[in-house]
Structure 1
């Protein structure tokens, strides 16, 4: 006896998947920045130096004197000479009053007053050492500096974002199929 046969032929379904990745683009612009440095405030104040030279004594040493100095010196010499002259006259008068004591006061006085004394000469330095007096006060400079802080300006730029979302498409590439076949033999 023959048995009928059934033949089954099946084909699986196939899926197709297409995907597109997401893309992201980021652009970051540089920040806008400016820096300004103001100049420092600078000021000077100067007290000038002072130089004094006193050569009065040196000029007097070489007989170059001011009018006032000459008058003062001549006045002193006149007073000294007057005082010395009076003392000499008084002494000579007393010698003449005592003429009875003997001696020859007139001849002695004539001999004493008849000749000028010899001038003495010695080595000296003209003008004398240290006769020029020098005084110097140096200048004083005061410097004032006031620094100014820098002016910094910063403007931040936001980033530029470009985003495209990804996509996934799922389709049926091939449908499933089932074939049934009967084979009956007689």
Structure 2
């Protein structure tokens, strides 16, 4: 016995895909670079030196020294001056006593007495080194601030652009199922 069969015809679906690749556009900008120079600084200060001039010995040699030193010299030399004065008086007396030898001893004695007291020297000793000069130099103050270079670097991010490609999807063939029934003989 022959059983009736159902036939079918199957048509598969067909998809059509048309795709183009996308495009990338990548740019890398250079980094931003800034350089700043800070100059070195030099600060020099020179304090004035100390100059001391002591001219007291020179004033003393000119007879303009202090009263205490002058009086001390007069006091120290008074004994010698007195002894020299006595010797001069004795010498003048001997000259006057020798009047018989001739000359003019009275006029000579009068001339010697007009000059004053040259033996009373109250001035200090004279010397080429009577002025003392002392100079104290001050050390220079030097302050150095070193210079430097400052860098400021900034990395710029890349610029990325993407352009999409074409993408088409469509049905090229639709699916189909066709069922073919068997022929049934109804005469039987």
The two structures share one fold, judged by TM-score above 0.5: no
Query: TM-score range, shorter-chain basis?
Result: 0.3 to 0.5
Q: TM-score, normalised by structure 1?
A: 0.43
Q: TM-score, normalised by structure 2?
A: 0.43
